[in-house]
Amino acid sequence: MSHSPGPRHNSTPKLTRQQKGKIGEEAACRWLREQGYLIMEQNWRCRRGEIDIIAAHGDLLVFVEVRSRSGAGKYGTPQESVDIRKMQQVRSTAAVYLQQLREKELQIRFDVVAVILDAAGQIVTIEHIENAF
């Protein structure tokens, strides 16, 4: 008796949202390090929310929201997905971080790193938007 494996499907499994996010965050960290940033924290959490990356660049403390997308942008660009609610959540989470840090004279900035992936999870483009919000 022979056994047929059934119809063949695409050999590349579809990436989950979490996998895309992790790939995007790792790519963003590499990119920021190459640009001279020092990664202080990744996925810093408190009750208010989470900040993907907190980095130092000179005398600047940068809070980075990473957005990853795959495909031809049928849902818009990654950076377009950072809405007002997300901006407010990142700002209030950053305020908690700064309060815990107890540094009074820090310059801060909010950036977005937009990562576009292909179906296999390979980086297509990385765009760093400084002062995004």
> What pLDDT does 54 receive?
98
pTM of the model: 0.85
Question: Each residue's pLDDT tens digit in the chain (133 positions)?
Answer: 544 444 444 455 688 888 989 999 999 999 999 999 999 999 999 999 999 999 999 999 999 999 998 865 566 778 878 889 999 999 999 999 999 988 777 899 999 999 999 988 999 999 999 999 9
| DSSP count for the chain of H helices, then E strands | 2, 5
Task: Give the CATH number of the domain where residue 120 resides.
Answer: 3.40.1350.10
Whether residue 5 is contained in a domain is answered as no
Please report the pLDDT score of residue 81 as a whole number.
84
Please tell me the total count of domains within the chain.
Answer: 1
- Domain for residue 123, yes or no? yes
User: Which string of b and e fits 15-26 if b means at least 16 CB within 10 Å?
Assistant: beeeebbbbbbe
Position 12 in a domain:
no
Residue-range definition of the domain harbouring residue 109: 17-129
User: Is 79 among the domain residues?
Assistant: yes
